[in-house]
Amino acid sequence: MASGAVLPPLPGGRVVPFTTMQAAVSRNMVESLSVPTFRVRNSMTADKLDALYEKVKSKGVTKTVLLVKAAAMALTQHPVVNASCRDGKSFSYNTNVNIGVAVALEGGLLTPVLEDADKWRVLLKKARTKQLQPNEYNSGKFTLSNLGMFGVDRFDAILPAGQGAIMAVGASKPTVVADKDGFFSIKSEMLVNVTADHRIIYGADLAAFLQTFAKIVEDPEGLTL
């Protein structure tokens, strides 16, 4: 069968061709399979982050925006996690911290790039009305995907082509935690998984980045907008 031809429908079903957006997502996902990746996971206490979110959500600030700002602060301390490799022979340290945020849309997925937290609502509206310009969604070098609002506690994300790492954030949930003295308490815990390009980022790099990210999340005063 010729390349690009649509297969006949199965009995009782129908074939739906990809939209332009779905075709682009498919190409990017297939391209990403050629990149050797690895994953690192860390659990962090989110009580103070949750409390901060409760204070600022009336201003239209989402938890995703707070997480992006925390990731940006951590990336400035760990520039290799903000690096990217295209040709397999060299890699680029990116001066700007441009974080793509995965947004589910009807019939596809876009990652608008959040350079300014105050512009998130505008970007989100443009993404959902298909008004994003190419420079507003294809310049990210690190991506954050947050499924916590759906109650998902953990998941892995596929590394987008041309990026160094992608962070997958789950919901913060009450968890029984023991301290160093053996006393138990209930804290809000959040699992964060990061998938990275192993050609340029190594285990110790990613572990150190996640450690910094956790410190920011657990003491989030610097995230005030």
The top-scoring range by mean pLDDT among 1-10, 36-45, 94-103 is 36-45
Contact 203, 38 (CB under 8 A): yes
What's the confidence (pLDDT) of residue 97? Answer: 80
198 is catalytic: yes
> Tokens standing for 101?
């945020």
> Tokens standing for 190?
């959040």
Contact 143, 157 (CB under 8 A): yes
- 198, 199, 208, 218: the active-site residue: 198
Lowest mean per-residue pLDDT among 50-64, 71-85, 105-119: 105-119
206/141: higher pLDDT: 206
pLDDT at 83 over 80: yes
pLDDT at 223 over 50: yes
For the 37-223 domain, the top CATH level (class) is alpha beta
The residue ranges of every structural domain in the chain are 37-223
Distance, CA of 30 to CA of 49 (rounded, Å): 36
C-alpha closest to that of 80 among 180, 206, 187, 173? 206
What's the confidence (pLDDT) of residue 109? Answer: 60
> Tokens standing for 200?
């340029």
Distance, CA of 198 to CA of 89 (rounded, Å): 13
Handedness of CA 210, 207, 81, 137 (dihedral sign): negative
Across 46-79, b (16+ Cβ under 10 Å) vs e yields: bbebeebbeebeeeebbbbbbbbbbbbbbbeebe
